[in-house]
């Protein structure tokens, strides 16, 4: 999940098993919610750690595709599992951006602003805002997980029937998803975000509260250029990370990507290869 220290200026406008989809009657309408954190695809302001070698325009376009992936996959997963889940898009820099307005109209998501000085404060505020509306189970995720199965969102909500906390570990020591049954500010304070201590510190805090925690499978989010190259390599879409990295981590097939994102990654892989082979000017 990408971190930034730029606060937004405006305020916020089931039973099942641990490995499969929840039962159809597990979650009533208006009981569960999914919050997706996203930035507007503004060149130079989003996915900056991919630049270079990507251009700001390429990084922004790719980010926009990832956001659409998250909304489409969550919609399809909840529909397939027959779950009543309301979806919120936590927007930065503001829900007034036309990108978010279009998503709200086309995808039926509710908009709220990201509010807080750091990532932890913004996540805590988002949970507080949504829980205040009467939801019993709330899952929050980022928008940089193009290969994540949509069923993980349904699984996380199902696990919250028997757990206080659900975490989806990422390969960099953080987490790509967090689910709660009540607001818990302690989990978001006193943590150095964007470090490999985020997940262990969060689990320690949960243990101190006596929380019962469930873990989803680890997954790759795309924050750095190394993540992007590894994803391209794992999907067999072009030049990327080493075979050693591919062997040690999950390697979903390219078919697990949306056609839109698969095409974008193929194009980027080709451009990166061409840039590497082009002679540099003195």
- Dihedral of CA 26/28/29/32: which sign? negative
At 71-84, the pLDDT tens digits run 999 999 999 999 99
Domains defined for the chain, CATH in brackets? 32-221 (3.90.550.10)
pLDDT band of 24, cuts 50, 70, 90: very low
Cα separation, 225 vs 227, in Å, equals 5
Cα separation, 240 vs 242, in Å, equals 7
pLDDT band of 28, cuts 50, 70, 90: very low
Higher model confidence: residue 77 or residue 6? 77
Write phi, then psi, for 4 (nearest 5 degrees): -150, 150
Secondary structure class of 250 (helix, strand, coil)? coil
* pTM, entire model: 0.85
């Amino acid at each position: 999940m990408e971190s930034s220290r730029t606060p937004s200026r405006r305020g916020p406008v089931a039973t099942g098993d641990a490995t499969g989809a929840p039962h159809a009657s597990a979650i009533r309408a208006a009981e569960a919610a999914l919050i997706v954190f996203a930035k507007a695809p503004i060149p130079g302001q989003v996915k900056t750690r991919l630049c270079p070698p990507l251009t700001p325009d390429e990084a922004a376009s790719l980010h926009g595709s990832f956001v659409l992936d998250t909304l489409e996959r969550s919609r399809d997963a909840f529909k397939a599992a027959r779950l009543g889940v309301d979806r919120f898009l936590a927007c930065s820099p503001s829900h007034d951006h036309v990108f978010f307005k279009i998503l709200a109209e086309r995808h039926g998501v509710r908009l709220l602003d990201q509010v807080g000085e750091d990532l932890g404060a913004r996540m805590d505020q988002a949970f507080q805002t949504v829980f205040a509306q009467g939801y019993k189970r709330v899952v929050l995720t980022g928008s940089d997980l193009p290969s994540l199965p949509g069923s993980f969102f349904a699984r996380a909500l199902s696990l919250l029937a028997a757990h206080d906390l659900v975490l989806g570990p990422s390969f960099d020591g953080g987490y790509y998803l967090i689910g709660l049954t009540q607001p818990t500010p302690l989990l978001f304070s006193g943590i150095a975000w964007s470090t490999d201590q985020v997940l262990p510190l969060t689990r320690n805090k949960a243990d101190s509260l006596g929380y019962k925690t469930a873990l989803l499978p680890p997954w790759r989010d795309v924050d750095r250029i190394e993540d992007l190259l590894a994803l391209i390599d794992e999907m067999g879409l072009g030049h990327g990370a080493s075979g050693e990295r591919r062997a040690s981590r999950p390697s979903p097939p390219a078919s697990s990507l949306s056609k839109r994102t698969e095409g974008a990654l193929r194009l980027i892989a080709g451009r990166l290869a061409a840039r590497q082979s082009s002679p540099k000017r003195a």
